[in-house]
Amino acid sequence: MIQVVVDDLAFVTADAVVRPADEVLNPVSPETSRLDRQAGDRFATLRRVSTPLDAGAAVVTGGGDLAAPFVLHVVIRDSTRRTDREIVRRALLSAWQRAADWGLGTIATPLVGSGAGQLSLEDAAALLAETFPDHPDGSPRELRIVLEREEDRALVEAIVQRRHR
């Protein structure tokens, strides 16, 4: 099941939130930086990596001071590759696999990879809908696409309905 909500990702009730990142899990957007501030100092320690990750990877850490106990970091950019549709697709598929491995049922996510110089809102929404597993008995079971602006809701809901059948 996929829902579209307008809220603050840091305060959404879920088992985990998706956090777009670069190869060393640094934030890739102002929204991600804001999420990091809400998550607190403990979260900064939790997201340290010993070696850079490849674009398309996903890893799980604790959520620090966020409402969700876990964070699924999706690596959508590294030192050799910029964000594109295929990297975001691979990162999301990796995230859903990590969620299944950890038994995470409800996932909250922003529009991964959208923003200036990256994917369009339409492409980002379509990728979430296309990649999210449709296994009613499996994990993850529910995806909450969290938007910051009410005016984006109708468009994202239409894309989700069209793509996730």
pLDDT digits (tens, 9 = 90+) for 98-108: 999 999 999 99
Please tell me the total count of domains within the chain: 1
Domain that holds residue 65: 2-163
CATH number at residue 57: 3.40.220.10
Tell me the pLDDT tens digit for each residue of 30-85: 888 999 999 999 999 998 888 999 999 999 999 999 999 999 999 998 888 888 88
pLDDT over 90 at 135, yes or no: no
- The answer, as to whether pTM is greater than 0.75, is yes
- Residue 57 one-letter amino acid: A
